[in-house]
């Protein structure tokens, strides 16, 4: 398998960026040890992903997700803000006012003692993301406080070798036709597909691939396993040689949910490591 899907690696300064992440990476990506919908997945069973962030409106409606990647920074997708682009442009609201961010979530239907809610101090949407494009689907949320009680997920190195599969987590619909979101977090293991397989999938679904860069395709071409509405922005996770979890992809878009012959499309985070570093400075700890 090739190491990326429709990806253009940012080799320049790769060594320098990797070095800047060394301290940070030593304390990220570890699951919780505690006793305390994804289509085709299973209930996670307990609160174990401390980096998972819920983006919800102030009437507590879950809309999107994200991943804590630093003491005050959540990584998500730009399309979660797309419905408000015009309202923001017209001055009726700001991106920062749209969502509150909740960490420490396993069951979104109750108020758990592990949960803490933050406001957005600043939202940074990728400059190349536009209303008419599905690509460069990535954004950063700077929290109004420090999430010192939560472990961030690791960012990928600028040059990453992909494994054969990864894990998606979230509270999205359990089928395309579902009207309700599950209360408990679900997870599903998905195969990572090659460039050729992904390109062929696009063509069979009569979709253009001219702009399909910096993405990753994962799922099951036989159907039955996928992310769905409500999972947007959440992490597609892989693990490194030390067993640490890495946010390899972000749930971006798809062709329905878990349909035969289709795959989920994920923003390929390794190609945006340099962009993330330009926008925020990650520290090696969850404390300032």
Q: Where are the alpha helices (DSSP H) in 142-211?
A: 195-204
Mean pLDDT of 114-127: 95
Distances in Å between the alpha carbon of 19 and those of 16, 28, 268, 284?
5, 15, 20, 12
Is 87 exposed, middle or buried, given 0-12, 13-18 or 19+ CB atoms closer than 10 A? middle
Please, which pLDDT band fits residue 277 given cuts at 50, 70 and 90?
confident
- Rounded to the nearest integer, the mean pLDDT of the chain is 82
For residue range 157-172, list pLDDT tens digits in order. Answer: 887 789 999 999 998 7
What does the pLDDT read at residue 190?
94
Whether the Cβ atoms of residue 99 and residue 59 lie closer than 8 Å to each other:
no
The architecture (CATH level 2) of 50-152+272-279 comes to Beta Barrel (2.40)
Hey, is 167 helix, strand or coil?
strand
Whether the Cβ atoms of residue 137 and residue 79 lie closer than 8 Å to each other:
yes
Beta-carbon contacts of 95 under 8 Å, excluding residues fewer than 6 positions away, are 81, 84, 88, 120, 123, 125
What does the pLDDT read at residue 151?
96
For residue range 131-151, list pLDDT tens digits in order. Answer: 767 789 999 999 999 999 999
Q: Residue 111 has which token pair?
A: 């108020």
């Amino acid at each position: 398998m090739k190491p990326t899907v429709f990806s253009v690696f940012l080799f320049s300064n790769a060594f320098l960026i990797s070095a800047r992440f060394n301290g940070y990476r030593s304390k990220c990506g570890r699951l919780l040890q505690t006793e305390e919908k994804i289509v085709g997945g299973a209930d996670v069973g307990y609160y174990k992903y401390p980096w998972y962030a819920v983006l919800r409106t102030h009437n507590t409606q879950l809309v999107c997700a994200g991943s804590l990647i630093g003491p005050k920074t959540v990584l998500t997708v730009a399309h979660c803000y797309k419905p408000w682009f015009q309202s923001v442009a017209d001055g009726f609201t700001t991106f920062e006012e749209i969502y509150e961010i909740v960490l420490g979530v396993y069951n979104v239907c109750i108020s758990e003692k592990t949960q803490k809610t933050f406001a957005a101090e600043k939202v940074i949407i990728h400059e190349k993301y536009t209303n008419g494009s599905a690509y460069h689907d990535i954004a950063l949320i700077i929290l109004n406080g420090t999430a010192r009680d939560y472990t961030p997920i690791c960012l990928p190195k600028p040059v990453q070798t992909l494994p054969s599969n990864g894990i998606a987590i979230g509270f999205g619909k359990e089928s395309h036709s579902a009207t309700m979101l599950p209360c408990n977090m679900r997870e599903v293991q998905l195969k990572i597909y090659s460039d050729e397989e992904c390109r062929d999938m696009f063509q069979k679904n009569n979709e253009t691939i001219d702009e399909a860069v910096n993405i990753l395709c994962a799922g099951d071409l036989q159907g039955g396993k996928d992310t769905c509405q409500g999972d947007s922005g959440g992490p597609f996770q892989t693990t490194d040689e030390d067993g640490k979890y890495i946010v390899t992809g972000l749930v971006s878009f798809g062709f329905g949910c878990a349909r035969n012959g289709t795959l989920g499309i994920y923003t390929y985070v390794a190609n945006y490591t340099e962009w993330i570093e330009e926008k925020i400075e990650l520290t090696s700890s969850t404390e300032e």
